[in-house]
Homo-oligomer: A and B are copies of this chain.
Amino acid sequence: MITLTEENYIKAIFHLGKQGSATVSTNALAEAMHTKASSATDMIKKLAEKNYANYKKYQGVSLTAEGKLVALNIIRKHRLWEVFLVDKLNFTWDQVHDVAEQLEHIKSQKLIDELDAFLDFPTHDPHGDPIPDKHGKFEHVEKTSLSNAKEGGSYVCVGVNDSSVDFLKYLDNNDIALGTTIKVLHKEPFDHSIKIAIDGRELMVSQVVGKNLYLKEN
């Protein structure tokens, strides 16, 4: 039996290390979970005890193969529910996260299999993130951040690094969505702001926006 809290910690370790393989520091994990380092230590011990995590004192934590499967399964559920909310229940991409955080913990294999079929086996969630299949496999989305894009290049928006309401609404307000074509006009060396063109309309975006917007060459 795995608790809801354990699932959330496992997911956090997965996201902080690259797919859970890299070692994650206690402090980083505590911060991600909005708890204190002492709480994170306790949970890390428990996860190691249950064979979901690799842990040596003072050496950080990573996921075992079993832990990775758990993480991928939760992520699969989270992203499928996000698709459901947007495609079927008129949620916008900035409204889905908190609800999906709850729904991802519902335990029923049939539920998630049927939901997958009902949604016609989607491969990506509303933020462009790939949805693992039932075996945990998913295609790596090829992408560069806008900050790393080439001046003069033409790209299409394929994802976001930050799924916060503020950032997603900012994108909405500026008519940037998944699939939007973006041309990189000028990268300002001074403050790393970037001038881009969307449908012929010019827009100046900050470095923070540049780092959180994922593109693919067009």
Show the binding face of A for B, using Cβ within 8 Å: 85, 88-91, 95, 98-99, 102-103, 106-108, 110-111, 114-115, 118
Q: Is the CB of B106 within 8 A of A118?
A: no
Question: Cβ of B108 and Cβ of A99 under 8 Å apart?
Answer: yes
B102 and A98: CB pair below 8 A? no
Integer count of this chain's copies in the complex: 2
Partner of A90, one of B103, B108, B114: B114
Kindly state the separation between the CA atoms of A90 and B115 in the bound complex, as whole angstroms: 10
Partner of A111, one of B85, B111, B118: B85
Q: Which of B89, B90, B103 is in CB contact (< 8 Å) with A106?
A: B103
- B118 engages A95 (CB within 8 Å): no
Q: Specify the main secondary structure of chain A where it touches its partner.
A: helix
Contact indicator B90/A111 (Cβ below 8 Å): no
Residues of B within 8 A of A108 (CB): 98-99, 102
Docked complex Cα distance between A91 and B117 (Å): 13
Q: List 21 A-B contacts (CB under 8 A).
A: A85-B111, A88-B118, A89-B110, A89-B111, A89-B114, A89-B115, A89-B118, A90-B114, A91-B110, A91-B114, A95-B110, A98-B108, A99-B106, A99-B108, A99-B110, A99-B111, A102-B106, A102-B107, A102-B108, A103-B106, A106-B106
Expressed in whole angstroms, the minimum distance between the Cβ of A87 and any Cβ of chain B is 11
A99 CB contacts on chain B under 8 angstroms: 106, 108, 110-111
In the complex, A88 Cα to B111 Cα: how many Å?
11
Contacting residues, chain B, for A90 (C-beta < 8 A): 114
A214 to chain B, nearest CB (A): 27
Residue numbers in B under 8 Å from A114 (CB-CB): 89-91
Q: How far is the CA of A111 from the CA of B82 in the complex (A)?
A: 12
Chain B residues contacting A91 (CB-CB under 8 Å) are 110, 114
* CA distance in complex: A158, B98 (Å): 38
In the complex, which residues of chain B have a beta carbon less than 8 angstroms from the beta carbon of A118?
88-89
